[in-house]
Structure 1
Amino acid sequence: MPVPQLADVLRAKGLRLTAQRQLVLEAVLELGHATPEQIHDKVVRTAAGVNITTIYRTLELLEGLGLVAHTHLGHGAPVYHGAGDRGHVHLVCHRCGKVDEVPPDVFGDVRDRLLAERGFLIDIGHVALFGMCSSCNEEEA
C-alpha cells in the first residue's frame, strides 16, 4: 500500500503515520510471507533502533486496520502478508520451507460440500497444505 493510503487509513482512525509503521508495512509487502523476526531483520537495516516489541505491536495495529493478515504455516511463529493477498491457499514445502500460493478455487468443491453438508464456511486465508515443492520432489526422485 502506498504511503499516502496508509496515512489516510491511520488518520481516519485518529492515528499518525510513523516511520516504524511505514517500514513495517513496506517490509511485509516486500517479503510476502514473513515472520515477525524476518520483518524485524528487514526493518532494522533501515532503522536500527526498532525493537521486536515495536514490530509485534505494529503488526497487531496494521492487522486491526485490515492492512495485513497473518496465518499459521506450521508450529512456529505466525506469518504475515498483505491483506489483499488473503484470498489464496498456502502450499508449504516441509523439506525446504518454501511457501507458494494457489487461488482459493482449488478448494471450490471442498468449500461447497462443507457448506452444503455441514453449514461450515472455510476461511481460505488460513488454509495451508504441507507437502513437497517441485524442486525438492525432483531432488528426491
Structure 2
Amino acid sequence: MDSTLKGTLHRRGLRMTPQRQLVLDAVRELGHATPEQVCSRVQATAPAVNITTVYRTLDLLEELGVVRHAHLGHGAPTYSEHQHRHVHLVCHHCGRVDEAPTELLSDVASRTLADLGFHLDATHVALSGTCVDCAHDDEDSADGAPEQDDTAPQEGAEGDR
C-alpha cells in the first residue's frame, strides 16, 4: 500500500481501504483514464466496486493532491497522478491527444503573472486545435480542390457595369 497516502488519510481520520488502493493503482497503471476506464480496471480485480465508489475515491484522491484531472474534450474528465505534469494537445478533427512539456506555456504563465497577477497552473492543461496529420490532410484536400478560373468575369466586377 502507498504509505504516504495511508498517512494522509489517517491524519484526516480516514483509512486506507482496498477500494481506494485499487483506484489509485488503476490510475497509475492507465496513465490517463476516465472514471469509467478506472472502474473497468478495478472491477477486473474487485467486481463489487461500482462507479459511484470510483467517482468518490477519485474526488478524495484529488482533494488530497494525489491525482488530478483534465478535460480533454466534451466527455468525462481524465485522471492521472499528480506528478504527471504536461500540457495536452487535443485535435478537434480526429481526437488525437499528444503531450507537450509544461514549459511550452512558460511565456503565457509569465505574462499572466506580470499583467494580471494571476498564477497559472499549466501542469495539466488541455489545448484544442488541429494535429499535424489532420492539418496535412486539410492541405492535401485543398490542393486537390478544383481551382477557380481567375480569368472568368466575376459577378459585380467592373466589366459588368
Q: TM-score range by the shorter chain?
A: 0.7 to 0.9
User: Is it true that 1:75 corresponds to 2:74 in the alignment?
Assistant: yes
Q: Which shows bigger deviation, 67-76 or 124-133?
A: 124-133
State the Cα distance separating 1:126 from its structure 2 match: 4.6
State the alpha-carbon separation in 2 of the partners of residues 82 and 46 from structure 1: 20
State the Cα distance separating 1:23 from its structure 2 match: 0.5
Identity %: 56
Please report the TM-score for the alignment, with normalisation by the length of structure 1. 0.84
Residue in 2 aligned with 1:3? 2
Q: Could you say what secondary structure the match of 2:90 adopts?
A: strand
CA contact (8 A) 1:89 1:125 kept: yes
Structure 2 counterpart of 1:46, one-letter code: T
Q: Where does structure 2 lack aligned partners over 5 or more consecutive residues?
A: 141-161
Please report the TM-score for the alignment, with normalisation by the length of structure 2. 0.75
* Per-residue CA distance 1:56-94 (angstroms, 9 max, x = gap): 011111111111111111121111110111x32112233
* Per-residue CA distance 1:89-111 (angstroms, 9 max, x = gap): 11223344343322211111122
Residue in 2 aligned with 1:111? 109
State the alpha-carbon separation in 2 of the partners of residues 22 and 136 from structure 1: 40
Residue in 1 aligned with 2:41? 42
State the Cα distance separating 1:36 from its structure 2 match: 0.5
State the alpha-carbon separation in 2 of the partners of residues 134 and 43 from structure 1: 35
Aligned residues between the structures: 139
RMSD of aligned residue pairs (Cα, Å)? 2.1
CA contact (8 A) 1:33 1:99 kept: no
Residue in 2 aligned with 1:33? 32
State the alpha-carbon separation in 2 of the partners of residues 55 and 113 from structure 1: 38
Structure 2 vs 1, CA of residues 110 and 32 (structure 1 numbering), >3 Å: closer, same or farther? same
Residue in 2 aligned with 1:120? 118
Q: Where does structure 1 lack aligned partners over 5 or more consecutive residues?
A: none
Residue in 2 aligned with 1:14? 13
Q: Which shows bigger deviation, 107-116 or 41-50?
A: 107-116
CA contact (8 A) 1:89 1:103 kept: yes
Structure 2 counterpart of 1:6, one-letter code: L
Residue in 2 aligned with 1:55? 54
CA contact (8 A) 1:90 1:129 kept: yes
Structure 2 vs 1, CA of residues 30 and 97 (structure 1 numbering), >3 Å: closer, same or farther? farther
State the Cα distance separating 1:137 from its structure 2 match: 5.8
